[in-house]
């Protein structure tokens, strides 16, 4: 098993390198970082030329890539156009966003598995049709619209119901909040509630359908029939045999969907005015801030590749057939 893990890890390295090159090409081709300088009047050509050299724009693309890559590997992500250290900024924003993403994923997985299993076991009943329809509905809803709905309606209703402002709609935390850890956690959760709910609803919609299909597939298999023929209780057949096998595909789906959940978080952050990875990306794209964009893309891509790796390992752990690859 350990050999499997190490081999997969090693295989990821060339992928990361290849992606870094792809990302660099994309960002380098996404626009002219000197556009703002050129657009301004009265800027002498020498200044533009100097800036050009400073940003290495006069060198061939492979060289530029090498310069950036060397720095990146050493941990030097450069500065934003505004002069901020990209690495510090990225780290700070990443923590904010990961709070939402991790919490949403955990909650959504549990609900999705439950919904999918119930839907499969009660196939063709009203419960099944309702869950399926709701799934389709939320899958067809853009996350920003859903988030905005929650923001405009959910917050006021809940706060009125409880008499106090428990749920927030702006930002990821109350600024300058003092108090102990509990107090801060409560504040975080209050701010997390609605955005996470939006992400959860959409993730559950997709994953529960997948889990339903997986469960149905397993339930009609020969080994389930044999388990029943052995005289096992229906509950044992369902949990120990059916569910155990039906859970295998979804673990990988969830791990692989991390990129999508992150994308959803990026959008949701804008609705709730969070200062996370979302606003960082939007600023970076609008300003064509090459350093910021490169760091953003590379770090998130590495996390996605890592999650793919986790998915592979999890799969091997759960399914003995593919362990000795």
Partner 1 sequence: MTEVRREPAAATAAGEHQPAGMQPGTPEREFTVEARSQLRMVVRRFLQHRLAVASLIVLVLVIVASLIGGRIWHYGFEQVGPDLSRPPSWKHPFGTDGIGHDTLAQVLRGAQKSVQIALLVAFVSTGFGTVVGALAGYYGGKIDTALMRLTDLVLSIPAIAFLAVLAARVRHGSGNWLFIALALSALAWTYIARTVRATFLSLREKEFVEAARALGAKDRRIIFRHLLPNAVGPIIVAATIAVAVTILYETSLSYLGLGIHPPDTSLGLLISQNESAATTRPWLFYFPGLFIVIIALTVNFVGDGLRDAFDPTQTRVRA
Partner 2 sequence: MADIVLEVEDLTVDFPTDDGIVHAVRGVSFTLERGEVLGIVGESGSGKSVTSLAIMRLLPKTARLGGSVRYEGRELLGLNEKEMGAIRGAEIAMIFQDPMTSLNPVYTIGWQLAEAVRAHRDVTKQEAWTRAVNLLELVGIPRARDRANNYPHEFSGGMRQRVVIAMAMANDPDVIIADEPTTALDVTVQAQILETLATAQAETRAAIVLITHDLGVVAGMADDVLVMYAGKPVEIGTVDEIYYHTRMPYTLGLLGSLPRLDAAGDEQLTPIKGSPPSLINLPPGCPFSPRCPLTRPHCDEREPDLRPVVGAAHLAACHYAEELSGDVVAAEVFEATAADAGDVK
Interacting residue ranges for partner 2, rule: CB under 8 A: 221-223, 225-234, 236, 241, 244-245, 248, 318-321
Burial class, 166, CB count within 10 angstroms (exposed 0-12 / middle 13-18 / buried 19+): middle
- N- to C-terminal Cα distance for the chain? 10
- Residue 143: name its binding partner from partner 1, partner 2, none (Cβ under 5 to 8 Å by kind): partner 1
Stretch that binds partner 1, among 58-66, 102-110, 169-177, 259-267 (CB under 8 A): 259-267
Q: How far is CA 174 from CA 165, 198, 241, in A?
A: 12, 20, 47
Closest to 259 measured CA to CA, from 49, 110, 145, 101: 101
Question: Is 145 a binder of partner 1 (CB under 8 A)?
Answer: yes
Nearer to partner 1 by C-beta: 112 or 297? 297
Q: Could you tell me which stretch among 87-95, 166-174, 230-238, 262-270 binds partner 1 (CB under 8 A)?
A: 262-270
Q: How far is the CB of 247 from partner 2 (least distance, A)?
A: 10
222: partner contacted, choices partner 2, partner 1, none (Cβ within 5-8 A by kind) = partner 2
Between residues 245 and 268, which has the closer beta carbon with respect to partner 2? 245
Q: What is the DSSP letter of 132?
A: H
Cβ-based nearer residue to partner 2, 102 or 226: 226
CB 215 within 8 A of CB 117: yes
* The one segment of 13-21, 105-113, 165-173, 185-193 that binds partner 1 by CB under 8 A: 13-21
Angstrom distance (rounded) from CA 277 to CA 96:
8
Closest to partner 2 by CB, 85 or 123: 123
Q: Which tokens go with 93?
A: 């924003």
Cβ contacts of 307 within 8 Å, gap of 6 or more:
255, 256, 258
Q: Which of partner 2, partner 1, none binds 88 (CB below 5-8 Å, type-dependent)?
A: none
CA nearest 213: which of 320, 324, 135?
135
Helices of type H across 29-125: 35-39, 45-54, 61-74, 86-121
- The site that binds partner 1 (CB under 8 A) totals a number of residues, namely 48
Using CA atoms, how far apart are residues 188 and 173, in angstroms rounded to an integer? 6
Q: Does 213 bind partner 1 (CB under 8 A)?
A: no
In angstroms, what is the minimal distance from the CB of 230 to partner 2?
4
Strand partners, 132: none
Residues at the site binding partner 1, with contacts judged by CB under 8 A: 15, 18-19, 22-23, 26-27, 29-31, 123, 136-137, 139-145, 148-149, 151-153, 216, 220, 259-260, 262-263, 266-267, 270-271, 281-282, 285-286, 288, 293, 296-297, 300-301, 304-305, 308
């Amino acid at each position: 098993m350990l050999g499997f893990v190490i081999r997969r890890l090693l295989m990821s390295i060339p992928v990361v390198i290849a992606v870094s090159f792809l990302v660099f090409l994309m960002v380098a081709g996404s626009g002219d970082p000197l556009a703002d300088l050129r657009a301004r009047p009265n800027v002498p050509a020498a200044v533009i030329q100097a800036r050009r050299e400073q940003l290495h724009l006069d060198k061939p693309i492979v060289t530029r890539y090498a310069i950036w890559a060397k720095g990146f590997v050493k941990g030097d992500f450069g500065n934003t156009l505004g002069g901020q250290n990209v690495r510090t900024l990225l780290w700070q924003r990443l923590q904010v966003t990961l709070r939402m993403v991790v919490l949403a994923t955990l909650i959504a997985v549990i609900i999705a598995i439950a919904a999918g299993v119930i839907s499969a076991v009660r196939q063709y009943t009203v419960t099944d049709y309702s869950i399926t329809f709701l799934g389709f509905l939320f899958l067809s809803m853009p996350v920003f619209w859903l988030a905005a709905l929650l923001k405009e309606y959910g917050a006021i209703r809940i706060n009125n119901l409880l008499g106090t402002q428990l749920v927030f709609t702006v930002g990821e935390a109350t600024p300058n909040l003092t108090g102990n850890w509990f107090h801060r956690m409560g504040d975080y959760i209050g701010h997390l509630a609605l955005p996470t709910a939006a992400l959860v609803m959409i993730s559950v919609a997709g994953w529960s359908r997948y889990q339903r299909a997986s469960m149905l597939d397993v339930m009609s298999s020969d080994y389930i029939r044999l388990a029943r023929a052995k005289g096992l209780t229906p509950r044992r057949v369902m949990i120990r045999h059916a569910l155990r096998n039906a859970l295998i595909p979804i673990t990988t789906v969830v791990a692989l969907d991390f990129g999508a959940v992150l994308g959803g978080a990026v959008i949701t952050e804008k609705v709730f005015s969070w200062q996370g990875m979302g606003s960082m990306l939007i600023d970076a794209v609008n300003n064509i801030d090459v350093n910021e964009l490169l760091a953003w893309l590379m770090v998130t891509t590495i996390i996605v590749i890592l999650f793919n790796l986790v998915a592979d390992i999890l799969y091997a752990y759960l399914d003995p057939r593919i362990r000795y690859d």
